[in-house]
Amino acid sequence: MAEPLFTPEEQKKFDAEIAEILSHYPADRKSAAMLPALRLLQELKGWLPPEGLKLVASRLNVTPERAYEVASFYVMYHLKKPGKYTVDVCTNLSCSLWGAEKMLAYLEQKLGLKAGESNERFFLRETECLASCGTAPCLQINEEHHESLTKAKVDAIFDKLP
Amino acid sequence: MATTAFEPIISSAWGKPNSWTLDEYKKRGGYKGLEKALELAPAQIIDEVKKSNLRGRGGAGFPTGLKWSFVPKDSPKPKYLAVNGDESEPGTFKDRYILENDPHMMLEGIAIASYALGVHTCYVYLRGEFKLQAERANAAIKEAYAAGIFGKKMLGKDYQLDCYVVRGAGAYICGEETALLESLEGKKGWPRLKPPFPAVVGLFGCPTVVNNVETLASVPHVFTRGSAWYAGLGTDKSGGTRLVCLSGTVNRPGVYEVPLEATFTQLIFDDKYGRGLPAGRKIKAVIPGGSSAPILSPDELDIAMEFEAVKVKQTMAGSGGVIVMDDTTCMVRSLWRVARFYAEESCGQCTPCREGTPWQTRLLRKIEEGRGEPGDVEILSNVASSIAPYPPIGLGNTICALGDAAALPTHSFLMRFRDEFEAHIREHRCPFGDKPWGAFGEWS
């Protein structure tokens, strides 16, 4: 038998939060809750497993294909299980003027990954602007934002990760 | 010409302890604007906003009062307010400071706008990466409910307003107002053809106003101090102050609130703002309004950072993102970076943008890496023209302005720095070698 998608606690949290999210929209517009519902699923599972997409779709009265269409459009949803930490490094113009390309090269070496690659612990990727141009260079680890980065700061951040 | 003495109004509390809480906001006169607005009829509120000359701060600079007046008054459908907090154009990073430091200022603007427009539900759409900002906005909304601002009665008046934060999921296109609405409806962010405009057919097919975070944060001031005072802060056609984001090779990048008459030169060199470039550096080019805005050369910087003044130079003040590039910066590599952004963020709906943006990126990479061939610059120029010709600005071949935004930088870089592109091809290498960004900051 396949493993259930959620633990009982996760299921409880999912049910309660989905109900709250749906209450924000008109009763005949359940499908509008797609983005927050996918976010909730990802928060619980770390990614969007196919059976989770099916569950979200059923709660929102849409087809699983529709849920997949939305999930695959946005970069913050993971359709494959990523490493424990998704590291988004901004290399756009303002950050690059402050050395972001070199910071990325340093991280590639430090983590033993090329941008775009993932291992069990890290998924390293270049990202397009984190709205932190005045405090460049910057990166995000999962949802935690770090800015005005120096080599020492980068080392300290990664050394502290559990 | 400004007739009111300049003072920072949006950023006055930034950096102060607990500036984001309701208590602190009230201590500095918060929600007095809403009290005053509620003494007026909705049509009078819209008139006051028109008189204030407030223009949208999201990029297009459209007059806010006029936008509000497009909402049909007698529609039987519910009306919506959608707040655009999907800030993500390279060079633009002001709204996050409002959300972090003073979310109630935006919420007060939301309450005033909603009451004026007959809106009972407002969605605040924030870019997905804004975790702290979403937390602050949510906490402020909770406080506003508890204080009887949101919820069943707005400050005791028989008026219900509900307000929810929705986080995006990393698609820049969702900052385009119709893509934002699609995303709010739970779909991928594909822009809609206009007309109909959202004011008439917006969220769920209902009349909807989409306003930027800074625009709404400006609204309370129109009522606390009066529309004449607010208009007097600005120029003839544009009221208030402006948040400008300064980044790139300057000594002190950051977000600064400036009078609309302030010039680029002042922003970059003044002691209270950017404090100039590092020793020995000169300005090579300045992007005046977010990465899509055509560049200005060093001799064009003595103009006001205001919509009309910037338009004269065939570029735009946009969302206030000023990026400074110094004389050690490779323009091919800079454009490559910018082009990659638009290629990554193209939604794929229109062929010229879907195919053209990655084509630009491939050509630029080829040229930057020394693999360029004679004729590549012409191809690049043609590809950009097929997405959007230049000039004029804003008449591209795509449904939304992302196509224009992707083509404009190419046109303007080629117009001003064509020789640099040719040199890359001729020498089969980047003339700036392995330091295309110069030596600046610890990483260089």
For B27-47, the pLDDT digits (tens) are: 999 999 999 999 999 999 999
Between CA A8 and CA A18 the distance in angstroms is 15
> What count of other Cβ atoms lies within 10 Å of the Cβ of residue B444?
15
**What residues of chain B lie within 8 A of the CB of A98, using their CB?**
440-441, 443-444
Smallest Cβ distance to B338: which of A93, A134, A143? A93
Residue A84 to chain B, least CA–CA distance (Å)? 17
What is the arithmetic mean of pLDDT over B90-119? 97
* B107-122 mean pLDDT: 98
The pLDDT of residue B392: 66
- The whole-number average pLDDT for the span A85-103 is 95
Which of helix, strand or coil describes residue A146?
Answer: strand
Res. B395: pLDDT tops 80 = no
Q: Which residues contact A37 (CB under 8 A, 6 or more apart)?
A: A18, A21, A56, A59, A60
pLDDT at B61: 87
| Chain B neighbors of A128, CB-CB under 8 A | 88, 90, 172, 340-341, 344-345
Compare CB distances from A94 to B90, B168, B255 and report the shortest one's residue: B90
Specify the pLDDT at position A85. 96
Share of chain B above pLDDT 70, in %: 99
pLDDT band at B339 (very low <50, low <70, confident <90, very high): very high
| Residue B439 pLDDT > 80 | no
- Could you tell me if B224 and B240 are in contact, meaning their C-beta atoms sit under 8 angstroms apart? no
pLDDT of residue A3 exceeding 90 = no
Read off the pLDDT band of A1 (50, 70, 90). low
Q: What is the pLDDT of residue B324?
A: 97
Chain B residue numbers with beta carbons less than 8 Å from the beta carbon of A106 are 443
> Residue B49's pLDDT band (boundaries 50, 70, 90)?
very high
Q: What is the DSSP string of B124-180?
A: EEE-TT-HHHHHHHHHHHHHHHHTTSSBSSBTTBS--BEEEEEE--S-GGGGSHHHH
Question: Is the confidence at residue B375, as pLDDT, over 70?
Answer: yes
User: Is A70 within 8 Å of B87 when comparing Cβ atoms?
Assistant: no
Q: B-chain residues within 8 Å CB-CB of A39? A: 128, 167, 169
Average pLDDT on B417-432 reads: 97
pLDDT at B390: 80
Cα torsion B18, B24, B30, B31 to 10°: value is 90
Q: Name the burial class of residue A112, with classes exposed (0-12), middle (13-18) and buried (19+) by CB atoms within 10 angstroms of its CB.
A: exposed
**What is the percentage of chain A residues whose pLDDT exceeds 90?**
98
Reported as half-sphere exposure (CB side, CA atoms, 13 A), residue B190 has a value of 10
A69: distance to nearest CA of chain B, Å? 7
The pLDDT of B149-170, averaged and rounded, is: 97
Q: What is the pTM of this model?
A: 0.96
Give the number of C-alpha atoms closer than 13 A to the C-alpha of residue B401, restricted to the C-beta side.
16
- Mean pLDDT over B380-405 rounds to 88
Determine the length of chain B: 444
| Top-confidence residue, B434 or B175 | B175
By the 10 Å C-beta count (0-12 exposed, 13-18 middle, 19+ buried), A28 is classed as exposed
B398 with B385: CB under 8 angstroms? Answer: no
Q: From start to end of chain A, where are the E strands? A: 85-90, 122-127, 139-141, 144-146
Q: Which of A34, A35, A78 to mutate to test the interface with B (most CBs of B within 10 A)?
A: A35
Contact list in B for residue A99 (CB cut-off 8 A) is 437, 440-444
Give pLDDT, residue B394.
Answer: 62
What are residue B79's phi and psi, to 5 degrees? -115, 155
CB atoms within 10 A of CB A15: 12
**Could you tell me the pLDDT band of residue B307, with boundaries at 50, 70 and 90?**
confident
Lowest-confidence region among A112-121, B60-69, B387-396: B387-396
Mean per-residue pLDDT for B338-355?
A: 97
Residue B20, pLDDT score: 98
What's the mean pLDDT when you consider all of chain A? Answer: 95
pLDDT, residue B393, reads: 65
